[in-house]
Amino acid sequence: QVQLVESGGGLVQAGGSLRLFCAASGRTFSSKAMGWFRQAPGKEREFVAGISWSLGNTYYADSVKGRFTISRDNAKNTVSLQMNSLKPEDTAVYYCAAATTLSIATMSTEFESWGQGTQVTVSS
């Protein structure tokens, strides 16, 4: 399995930006699609963004489309999530995850490895 560690969360005002990072270890990182999920208090974990393993195809939840950008660097075993125009409703714990597939995955059941999460808080 792939081990994942997120960083980059914090407190930001509405309209601001944050960049989340996910560092992966394990020999199979480059053969897995990756994704970001988030979970707000009292809500279920939800898909945010996904990226395929080689071509860099991406997919976003409608709620973040046009504001968030997912990217990966297979040489450095990292995945990033650039978040712009942040809104208070983006407040959540954000999780990086490695899928069981090569192509983009969006369902949590398609992911086999999860990071510990990083808190993002957007104030109004």
Residues 6 or more apart whose Cβ sits within 8 Å of residue 62: none
* pLDDT score, position 26: 77
* β partners of residue 59: 50
pLDDT exceeds 80 at position 110: yes
Task: Give the model's pLDDT for residue 29.
Answer: 65
pLDDT value for 1: 75
End-to-end CA distance of the chain: 39
CB under 8 Å to 41, separation ≥6 — which residues? Answer: none
| Percent of the chain clearing pLDDT 70 (strictly above) | 97
Average pLDDT over residues 17-45: 90
Residue 27 has pLDDT above 70, yes or no: no
